[in-house]
Amino acid sequence: MQFDLTEDQALVLQTARDFAAREIEPKAAELDRTARWPTEIVERMAELGFMGLAIPTEYGGAGLDNVTYALVMEEISRACASSGVIMSVNNSLFCDPLYKFGTEWQKKEILTPTAQGRILGAFGLTEPASGSDARTMKTVCERQGDGSFLLNGSKNFITVGPHAEHIIVFAISAPHPEKPKHTALIVKKDMPGFQVANHDEKMGIRAAHSSTIFFDNVKVPKEYVLGEEGNAFKIAMITLDGGRIGIAAQALGIAKAAIDRSIAYSKERKAFGGVIAGLQAIQFMIADMIVEYEAARLLTLRAASMKDKGVKHTSESAMAKLLASEACTRICHKAIQIHGGYGYISEYAVERHYRDARITELYEGTSEIQRIVIAANALRG
Ligand code: CAA
């Protein structure tokens, strides 16, 4: 088993770490407080090749691997979890399925500028009445005589939605009471009938805008159909197998920031005649935080490395996301405990980490969905 990073992976990791510390971290509190979309950070991430990191260079990407993607995602999220998820949606949920299932025209015209970060992409699966039970969506698309589709319905909680040029929208193309068939359409924001609502006011990742999007008789030309008609549920599931690695890495980044801050604080804060780092109560918390973080990191890098090898990694991605997200919440909880009352006020960043952590257990499949996926794969044998 290979645990060491290659020279290239280590170099990109260092670049991401320096960039995040210098250009993102100083702005993270303000972005959170004001819920401002971080235009300048997205532009810089694009310049560094982080918006299409694992996409081949011929299609505008950086041509790197998924292990590097996970390493960079962790560093960006360690500085600012909002910037992390913006990067993750563009890479995992838009560029990756376009590269895997797109036509040559879609790769040249849509994937290339998106992987370069000149425009952004989003992923439309969730609806107001279907989150975990994604198959039961209500959005429909009807094939027209000229091969185009007429799209009607709505999607919600669409991260990056208000800023995306295109959204991959999943819709029922052949209704059926038990086994409806789905088709994926690449919807461009200027197609008539496409409407984006105001962005959601969220508890955490506040600068990463998400919103509801409405489709009212949107005519989607046939060149914008992604993959095989009627088979899009599998496209969604395969995409989420990759996306969950990104969210696991985001959770690692948030957790690492909370651990670093807890260690620094415990070496400064004095109580009972010395710094609190000298107290076993604090030391045990720090030890548990580090062990959970390291275990989740190994699972995440294993899933990313399996993706690089082209091996099925459904269960491994689910395990990585499940452990990383739940560990992240526990780690941030302990970080606040170590900070005491100071951890509860926004002057100290662990308060933000605690709020940011919570979403990682919800999006791209709740913890309960990850358990369903892991158990289903184990029981199938
Ligand atoms: N790879 C390939 N195919 C897969 C697959 C995978 N990982 N998972 C399922 N499939 C296939 C199955 O083999 C099956 O195929 P057949 O019809 O040919 O038999 C088909 O897909 C249906 O699978 P299931 O019977 O398992 O489907 P289900 O309805 O029971 O649901 C589920 C499965 C895992 C619960 C799924 O609904 C799910 O993942 N739900 C969570 C949705 C989710 O993660 N949403 C996140 C939204 S995106 C987001 O959050 C972005 C953001 O904000 C940042």
Taking only the tens place, the pLDDT of each residue in 295-307 is 999 999 999 999 9
From the number of C-beta atoms within 10 Å of its C-beta (0-12, 13-18, 19+), residue 371 rates as middle
173 close to 140: Cβ distance less than 8 angstroms: yes
The Cα 112–Cα 98 span in angstroms is: 10
Q: Where are the alpha helices (DSSP H) in 310-349?
A: 314-339
Q: In the chain, pLDDT over 90 holds for what percent of residues?
A: 98
Is this model's pTM higher than 0.95 or not? yes
Q: What is the mean pLDDT of residues 19-48?
A: 98
362 ligand 1 Cβ < 6 A? no
Q: What is the mean pLDDT of residues 2-6?
A: 90
Which among 77, 72, 31 has a CA at the least distance from the CA of 48? 72
247 ligand 1 Cβ < 6 A? no
Q: How far is the CA of 286 from the centre of ligand 1 (A)?
A: 36
| 134-to-137, 156, 232, 366 alpha-carbon distances in Å | 6, 12, 12, 12
Q: How far is the CA of 240 from the centre of ligand 1 (A)?
A: 8
365 ligand 1 Cβ < 6 A? yes
The string of pLDDT tens digits covering residues 365-374 is 999 999 999 9
Name the closest-CA residue to atom 24, ligand 1. Answer: 135
Per the prediction, the chain carries an average pLDDT of: 98
Domains annotated on the chain, with CATH: 7-115 (1.10.540.10), 121-230 (2.40.110.10), 234-379 (1.20.140.10)
pLDDT reported for residue 3: 84
pLDDT reported for residue 24: 98
181 close to 140: Cβ distance less than 8 angstroms: no
Given pLDDT bands bounded at 50, 70 and 90, which one contains residue 110? very high
188 close to 224: Cβ distance less than 8 angstroms: yes
233 ligand 1 Cβ < 6 A? yes
Tell me which of 91, 237, 325, 361 to substitute to probe ligand 1's pocket, judged by most ligand atoms within 8 Å of the beta carbon: 237
pLDDT reported for residue 2: 76
Q: In this model, does residue 381 exceed pLDDT 80?
A: no
Given pLDDT bands bounded at 50, 70 and 90, which one contains residue 290? very high
Q: In this model, does residue 108 exceed pLDDT 90?
A: yes
At 184, phi and psi to the nearest 5? -100, 130
> Given the CA of residue 93, which atom of ligand 1 is nearest to it?
51
Q: How far is the CA of 234 from the centre of ligand 1 (A)?
A: 7
DSSP state of 200: P
**Catalytic sites, residue numbers:** 364
Q: What is the mean pLDDT of residues 239-246?
A: 98
